[in-house]
Structures are given as structure tokens and as C-alpha cells.
Amino acid sequence: MTTSRYPTGYDLLLDPRANKGTAFSIDERQLCRIHGLLPPTVSTPRLQVERFMENLRNMPDDLSRYISLNALQDLNEKLFYRVAMEHTQEVMPLVYTPTVGLACQKYGLIFSKPKGLFISILDKGHVYDVLRNWPIDDVRAVVVTDGERILGLGDLGCNGMGIPVGKLSLYTALAGVRPQYCLPVTLDVGTNNEHFLNDKYYLGLRHKRVTGKEYDDFVDEFMQAIVKRFGQQCLIQFEDFANHNAFRFLKKYRDLYCTFNDDIQGTASVAVAGILSSTRITGAKLADSRFVFYGAGEASIGISDLLVVAMEREGLSAEQARKNIFLVDSKGLIVKNRPAGGLNEEKLRYAHEHEPITNLIDIVRTIKPAYLIGAAGQGPAFTREILELMASINKHPVIFALSNPTSKAECTAREAYETTKGQCVFASGSPFPNVEYNGKTYIPGQGNNSYIFPGIGLAIVTCNIRHIPDELFYLAAKTLSEQVGDEDLKVGLVYPPIEKIRDVSRKIAVALAEYAYEKNLAALYPRPNNLEEFIQSQQYAVEYEDIVPPRWDWPSKTLAKL
Ligand SMILES: O=C([O-])CC(=O)C(=O)O
Ligand SMILES: [Mg+2]
């Protein structure tokens, strides 16, 4: 990866950022001394995409497709993003959820080239030195994980690297953040995953997780080192940390750094967007609806907190709003009279004065919610009986199965539509195919934070937003929901179609940038007059750059004078 001088000769073909592969023109091949290293026919970028897709479709399984896309990213970055942008619907599930989950489980087998930094607890005291090994100085967005809660798959240790890599690929593919601004990081503090500790191919540290003060000091050092290396305005997105750490770090760092937690705040924003859109189908106000969350972790608490903000906009007090929200954890409905020590601070906010109920179906029967939202990462929990019950309580029950990857979803799209006789409003965290039911096609929306974090990233890296207040996530949710057309709702979509996602991300970025300038949070001065045009001008383009300078076709009269 060359940062300054343009590579020539064989090196040019090894530089993914400059390489055009068979699309180098004959002039370029001669000028750059690669003539003869490529077969003589020059391909158009269109043909390169077609050729790649043909190969991809012929592969035996999705893991092979993931490996192939990764290899393309290492070989020819522009072509990789052209493929990802022109075939988003097909390629996104391969570079991201759900295939990335499988890729993380197999990371020890498939790791090939560095795409980010592995910083281990053994580097404690030298984190800044490790960051200096990254070849690019102008990094503006870091996605970091410690691998402890990868999707709904649990502790995958250093194999979690697939997640920051996948997230940042979407920064570029879905929002046009330039890839050179992005840095994926995995903090390896060990793993409690026995399988990996005994797996000869596992590439991370082979001991149990370091916890307590030593772990906290390490993460502190990392945060400080990022600022020292890349500047105060560098965005740090926390991803797939375990519950107990995710909330602590968000509280600790949110006012000191430009940071957010995607699993708490990003997921909250996308879910609230879907909820706002669903009210256009159900016709009910949020303030008059009850919500049952299956799961009481990062996603459920994050969504609940943002939902309270949304209900406050409808005129409720926060306390009244919380009365509409019911959380269910592994012990059942969260109620006040749990044995002492049973509830953390976040759950306590939503604890009701109520008899304990342990069973989800009994909880639904008693609470009679309009919304049933699954984010427990426990797999199928919304049984046929529960879905039928939801349909008997509501004309249009809203069912969100948000857990990832697909195997962890609370129900499938087909189960939801069939059991509710096509009446439900459905969304899921992982993609599901369209469902034909009773002569109608339903398109399940993907309530995944990928509708949110790329737009947030784009606003931050283009306008140098210094802090990320909660209001930005509400604004992102509202902006996303406003992009849903009546024709989308008719087929069941509570999100804009995925093909529009780049425009949607830009709209989110513009809304956030406007707010940031209003509140003095944006450090880029002067404020661009037209934020939409400015942000668009900063987006990554997949067109190859010309290498050969334009010819000087001087008129012959001028030549004669020389
Ligand atoms: O990565 C995804 O698909 C969404 C997400 O943040 C998670 O499930 O942890
Ligand atoms: Mg996540």
C-alpha cells in the first residue's frame, strides 16, 4: 500500500490502491513499465465487473465468495468497490452479515494479508508504536473490537477482526468514505473460547481474557494513542464488545473522544427508524403502543433509550415513555422485585412493578404489545404460537428479529408473514429473501445498523465533527425513516431499498452535518455553503484515475515559432 510516490513496474500491479489490472491502457502499460505483464486485450471496468461476478457466482459456497472478495480488495481496490456498489444486494451479505460471521469463525484458516492492526495486550506500553506501523497518517475513522461478543456468536477472540474490516468496507461501499481514511483494529486480550484456545490454527493470544484494571488501562492507552497518532477528531467506533464493557466505555469516553458504540447507538437508530416507519402502516402513535424486547443487552437498551426520546417528541415524559417498554432477559420479564443484585443500572431503568413472568409467550399474553423486538442473539425464540398471539392482539403486529447472523434471528421472514397471514410488519438484522404469500410479494427490510453507521462516518470524516451526541442518532433515525416511500411500505419495507443506500447515507450525513454546524460541533471551517454538494464532492469514486497526462497537441504555428 503506497502512500506517496506512484508505483511503477511490477510494484504497480501489487499496489491495490493504484492497480487497474487488465484495464490499464496500452499507453499506461508502456509509461509505467508493465507492458507485457498483462495479456494484450484491455478490459473495460464494466467487463472486469462482469468477469468477477461470473467467477463469484460459480463458486461453491459463501465462504469461498468471501475469500474471493477479500482477495479482490487486496488486488484491485477500485474494482472491489465497483463490484460492491453495483451489486450491493448480492455482495453485501458476502462481505458483511451473515457471511462475515462464518469468516470470523474460520479466520485462523483464511487470514492472508493485513487489512488492519492487531494490537495485543503484550503491546501494552507500546500501543502508539504499533499504530505508527500503519502506513497512512491521515486516518479519520477507526472501528475497533476486542472480539468478545461477535454478532450473536460470542467470544471469537482475535478472529473478530473480520467485523471491523467488514464494517469499514461498508463505510466506503455504502457511504463513499474514502478507504484510505479507514483503519480496522482488533484488541487482542485473549479469549475465553475453549475451542480456539485448543485450535492449532488460531492466530490470537492463547490465554484467557485479561480483565479488570489491566484491561481498562490497555483500552485507555489505545484511546490516547489513537489521538496522538491520528488527532483528536479521529472517529473511534466500538463494535461487538461484551455488554458489561460496551456500556462502561460509552459512558467513560463519549465526552472525551469522537466515539460511539454501534451496537448500542447504531442499532438503536436503525430500529427506531423502522419503528417510525411502521407507524405509517399501523396508524398508532408510539405513545399509545407497548413494546416487548426479547433480550436486554446493548441493542435492546440502546433502542429503548432512543425510543424514549422519540416518545418524548410525542409529548410523553421520559418516565411515562419507559412505562410502555418491557424488557425480557434470560430470567424473564424485568421487574422491580428481582432478588437483590439481579439488575444492572441499564435494566433497572425499565424494571416494572409487576409480578415476575418467565415465559415469553406468557409475557406477550399479559403485556399485549404492539411491537415484539428480538435482540437476544439466542436464535429462534418467536415461535408460531407467539407470532399467532401477536396477530390475535394486533391488526398489524410489528415483529423485528434483529439478532445476527441469520442462525441467531428470532424467526425467519417467512415464518413471520405466514403465521400472521401477511399482516405483520417485519424487519430483521440479517437479510432474508423476499416472501411470496397468498399471491403477494413481501420484501423484508434489513434493520441493520449498516443503514446508519456509514452515514455517520461520512459526516464525521468530511466535516470533522468532534463529538457525537445522542441527538445525532435520533436525527439519523428520522432522516432514514423519511426516505421510506409509500411504495416501499406497500411491499412491507420499513427501510428504503438497499439500492438507494448510498443516497440515503449521504442524506443522513448532510442532516448530521447541518446539526453539527448549528451546535458548533464541526471543526471544518469555513462551513461549506452547500453541505450536500460538499459532502458529495468528498465521496469516493470508483472510476480509475488517468495516469497518462493529456497530450500537448500544440498547434503547428506555435511549434514553428519555437
Ligand atoms: O454486524 C451486524 O450485522 C450488526 C451488528 O452490529 C451486530 O449484530 O453486532
Ligand atoms: Mg455489532
Distances (CA, A) of 439 to 336, 399, 417, 421, 442: 47, 21, 12, 12, 10
Nearest CA to ligand 1 atom 8: 151
Q: State yes or no: pLDDT of 355 exceeds 60.
A: yes
Pairing, β 235-238 against β 141-145: parallel
Predicted ipTM of the assembly: 0.99
305 marked ligand binding residue:
no
447 Cα–ligand 2 center, Å = 13
Q: State yes or no: pLDDT of 559 exceeds 80.
A: no
Q: What is the pTM of this model?
A: 0.95
The CA distance from 426 to 437, in Å, is: 14
**At 548, is the pLDDT very low, low, confident or very high (cuts 50, 70, 90)?**
confident
- The predicted pLDDT at position 2 comes to 44
- The predicted pLDDT at position 6 comes to 80
CB 297 within 8 A of CB 376: yes
**At 547, is the pLDDT very low, low, confident or very high (cuts 50, 70, 90)?**
confident
235: helix, coil or strand? strand
Candidates 414, 408, 457, 415; CA nearest to 429 is 408
The CA distance from 249 to 254, in Å, is: 8
- pLDDT tens figures, 189-230: 999 999 999 999 999 999 999 999 999 999 999 999 999 999
The CA distance from 175 to 189, in Å, is: 32
449 Cα–ligand 1 center, Å = 7
Q: Which one-letter amino acid corresponds to residue 305?
A: D
275 Cα–ligand 2 center, Å = 20
Residue whose CB lies within 8 A of the most ligand 1 atoms, among 97, 403, 428, for a mutation test: 97
488 marked ligand binding residue:
no
Q: Which one-letter amino acid corresponds to residue 514?
A: E
Atom of ligand 1 nearest to the CA of 150: 9
Nearest CA to ligand 1 atom 7: 151
- State phi, psi for 356 to the nearest 5 degrees: -65, 140
Percent of the chain clearing pLDDT 90 (strictly above): 94
Percent of the chain clearing pLDDT 70 (strictly above): 96
Nearest CA to ligand 1 atom 3: 97
CB 281 within 8 A of CB 244: no
Catalytic residues: 96, 167
Question: Quick one: cell of 222?
Answer: 489505545
Q: State yes or no: pLDDT of 410 exceeds 70.
A: yes
With cell 505483464, the residue in question is 37
263 Cα–ligand 1 center, Å = 7
Nearest ligand (C-alpha, residue 453): 1
- pLDDT tens figures, 133-149: 999 999 999 999 999 99
Residue whose CB lies within 8 A of the most ligand 1 atoms, among 151, 156, 174, 373, for a mutation test: 151
Region 460-477 average pLDDT: 96
Beta strands in 95-246 (DSSP E): 117-120, 141-145, 182-188, 235-238
Domains present along the chain, CATH in parentheses: 44-257 (3.40.50.10380), 265-448 (3.40.50.720)
- The predicted pLDDT at position 64 comes to 98
**At 553, is the pLDDT very low, low, confident or very high (cuts 50, 70, 90)?**
low
The CA distance from 38 to 348, in Å, is: 64
Residues near ligand 1 (Cβ within 6 A): 97, 151, 240, 262-263, 404, 429, 448-449
- pLDDT tens figures, 19-44: 999 999 999 999 999 999 999 999 99
Q: State yes or no: pLDDT of 5 exceeds 80.
A: no
263 marked ligand binding residue:
yes
- The predicted pLDDT at position 342 comes to 74
Residue whose CB lies within 8 A of the most ligand 1 atoms, among 165, 262, 498, for a mutation test: 262
The CA distance from 463 to 457, in Å, is: 10
Q: State yes or no: pLDDT of 178 exceeds 50.
A: yes
Nearest CA to ligand 1 atom 2: 97
- pLDDT tens figures, 230-250: 999 999 999 999 999 999 999
470 Cα–ligand 1 center, Å = 19
Nearest ligand (C-alpha, residue 405): 1
The CA distance from 273 to 303, in Å, is: 10
- pLDDT tens figures, 373-400: 999 999 999 999 999 999 999 999 999 9
The CA distance from 315 to 287, in Å, is: 8
**At 562, is the pLDDT very low, low, confident or very high (cuts 50, 70, 90)?**
low
Q: How many CA atoms lie within 13 A of 339 on its CB side?
A: 2
Give CA 512 to chain center in angstroms.
17
Distances (CA, A) of 436 to 401, 413, 421: 19, 10, 11
With cell 417485519, the residue in question is 426
448 marked ligand binding residue:
yes
**At 558, is the pLDDT very low, low, confident or very high (cuts 50, 70, 90)?**
low
The CA distance from 442 to 462, in Å, is: 37
- State phi, psi for 374 to the nearest 5 degrees: -100, 125
240 marked ligand binding residue:
yes
Atom of ligand 1 nearest to the CA of 166: 1
149 marked ligand binding residue:
yes
- pLDDT tens figures, 482-538: 999 999 999 999 999 999 999 999 999 999 999 999 999 999 999 999 999 999 999
